[in-house]
Amino acid sequence: MTQKNRTRDMTVGAPMKLILSFAAPLLFGFLFQQFYSFVDTAIVGKYLGAEKLAAVGGTGSINFLVLGFCQGACSGFAIPIAQAFGARDEHRVRKCVAASAYLSAGVSIVMAVMTGLMCPAMLRLMNTPEEIINDSVAYIRIIFLGIPVTILYNMASGVLRSLGDSRTPVVFLILASLINVVLDLVLIIYVGMGVVGAAVATLISQLVSGVGCIIVMKKQFPILRMNSEELRPDGALMKSLLLTGLPMGLQFSITAVGSVIVQWSVNGLGVESVAAVAAGGKLSMFFSCVFDALATTMATYSGQNMGAGRIERITRGLKSAALIGTVYCICAYLVILIWDRSLLGIFVDAAKEPTVMAMASRYIRINSSFYIALLFVNIVRLSIQGMGYTRVAMGAGAFEMAARTAVALLIVPGLGFTGASLANPAAWVMADLFLFPCYFRCLRMVRERMQIPSEKPQRSFIMKWKKWPVSSGLLRARHH
């Protein structure tokens, strides 16, 4: 297949059609990514019991803390690539891809070594129950030592999406999911590796998807064929990408700090609560795949249109994504309200663990009733980041962290598990209160810099904050 039909220009055409066509393959990718995560959890829960399920699930927040940073940084590295592609600057595209590869390699090695050594201490700080801590350490240590594999896929898929190809990563995720299913069954059930088998299966699957994306990039994207000058490390460009990627990575980590504190409070409620959050959280992540797909789409859509100077299209695209997402939120809530226990039965045997099932049902119902707030956190934040204002993400992450921390310290002691179930909704609402005025402020700054008249007068409630520095990945000229 040629470069022409692999890349996609999102600076022209109807936003609704572009967003749907780009997000659909992404959605399948995220669903399959959750699928093999589901398999880990389901096999562990069904074959090894609630205690082992709690051991794996209890690592979720620390997993998010570390891997979220890596994934966020890779997404940040990809934004200047999308902007350069939107501006038709192929030389800069290749320079940015080379620089992001060097940075990804460095980040992966440092993070793998640090977290591999520190994971026991981190789990003890989280108040992990003694009966599950050994299994938790065994599981998460392998995941952390495999960070280079995780970053390989995230870096490669980020580059492909920046060029408008949302399908190739999905193909390899489907293949990886099938491999993961087989390996889970073999390593956990037949070989008897326990939770370690689940971690090994996940890493092997991610390696397949990452290597597959790299092969496609090399063979089927002429735009990425670099000469010796483009391959040469560029210190200034790498510094620029760090200024874009690190804030996005830190945003995930800051958000995860709040999740870690919530997990600490849940751990104090006992193994049944930990298992219920693990099961309910897994199901909620599955339903959240649509939000992830729309958000990733908006990052590429916003980045390409920013590079092309088509600022008016960003808001049109955001409205289209909001309409799609709102319809989905209503449908998802109704499905959960009716079939939540049947779906949770994938992870929990209701006959053996009736208390865990009841608590997990309460958790997913409370969270799903606030999915519209989560939708806007995703699409508004990624639209802002696509414009180049990646440091705003840290502010949103700080609001989420503050909300989760307040719930964990002030509400969980009084309401117990129900209080813990309110942590995510509180974080999403607080982040939205921060992001909406930020979005309009960023639009106004972009219009002023590019000398584009505002489409509508700015509302008086928007504060005249000090301007955030835009990542140097933004292109300085306006292109049509």
Residue 453 pLDDT class (50, 70, 90 cuts): low
User: For 265-274, 318-327, 468-477, which range has the lowest pLDDT when averaged over its residues?
Assistant: 468-477
User: For 191-200, 214-223, 398-407, 448-457, which range has the lowest pLDDT when averaged over its residues?
Assistant: 448-457
Rounded to the nearest 10 degrees, what angle do helices 371-386 and 392-406 cross at?
150
Mean pLDDT of 217-224: 86
Mean pLDDT of 263-289: 86
User: Can you say how many angstroms the Cα of residue 92 is from the centroid of all Cα atoms in its chain?
Assistant: 26
Is the pLDDT score of 42 beyond 80? no
Is the pLDDT score of 428 beyond 50? yes
| DSSP string for 178-204 | HHHHHHHIIIIIIS--THHHHHHHHHH
Categorise residue 88: left if φ over 0, alpha if ψ from -120 to 50, beta otherwise: left
Cα–Cα distance for residue pair 233/245, rounded to 1 Å: 17
Cα–Cα distance for residue pair 408/414, rounded to 1 Å: 10
What pLDDT sits at residue 38?
67
What pLDDT sits at residue 4?
45
Is the pLDDT score of 463 beyond 60? no
What is the Cα gyration radius of the chain?
22
User: For 183-187, 258-262, 303-307, which range has the lowest pLDDT when averaged over its residues?
Assistant: 258-262
Q: What is the largest CA-CA distance in the chain?
A: 66
Count the neighbouring beta carbons within 10 Å of the beta carbon of residue 452: 15
* Residue in 233, 242, 241 with CA at minimum distance from that of residue 102: 233
Q: What is the mean pLDDT of the chain?
A: 82
Residue 349 pLDDT class (50, 70, 90 cuts): confident
Q: Which residues, 6+ apart, have CB-to-CB distance to 10 below 8 Å?
A: 18, 22, 86, 164, 300, 301, 304, 305
Residue 458 pLDDT class (50, 70, 90 cuts): very low
Percent of the chain with pLDDT over 70: 90
What pLDDT sits at residue 403?
92
Mean pLDDT of 27-44: 72
Mean pLDDT of 408-413: 90
- DSSP state letter for 12: S
What pLDDT sits at residue 30?
78
Kindly provide the b/e burial profile for residues 260-288, where b requires at least 16 CB atoms within 10 angstroms of the residue's own CB: bbbbbbbbbbebbbbbbbbbbbbbbbbbb
What pLDDT sits at residue 6?
60
What pLDDT sits at residue 294?
93
Evaluate whether 273 touches 70 at the Cβ level (below 8 Å).
no
Instruction: Report the half-sphere exposure of 121 (CA within 13 A, side-chain side).
Output: 5
Q: What is each CA distance from 444 to 298, 321, 458, 477, in whole angstroms? A: 19, 21, 8, 17
Is the pLDDT score of 455 beyond 80? no
Cα–Cα distance for residue pair 320/313, rounded to 1 Å: 11
Is the pLDDT score of 457 beyond 80? no
Instruction: Report the half-sphere exposure of 202 (CA within 13 A, side-chain side).
Output: 26
What pLDDT sits at residue 452?
63
Per the structure block, which two tokens stand in for 95? 């320079």
Cα–Cα distance for residue pair 38/246, rounded to 1 Å: 30
What pLDDT sits at residue 164?
81
- Which range has highest mean pLDDT (56-60, 260-264, 462-466)? 260-264
Cα–Cα distance for residue pair 238/243, rounded to 1 Å: 9
Per the structure block, which two tokens stand in for 383? 């639209």
Handedness of CA 184, 189, 195, 197 (dihedral sign): negative
- DSSP state letter for 471: P
Domain ranges of the chain: 15-450
Residue bearing the bigger pLDDT, 108 or 459: 108
What pLDDT sits at residue 476?
37
| DSSP string for 51-64 | HHHHHHHTTHHHHH
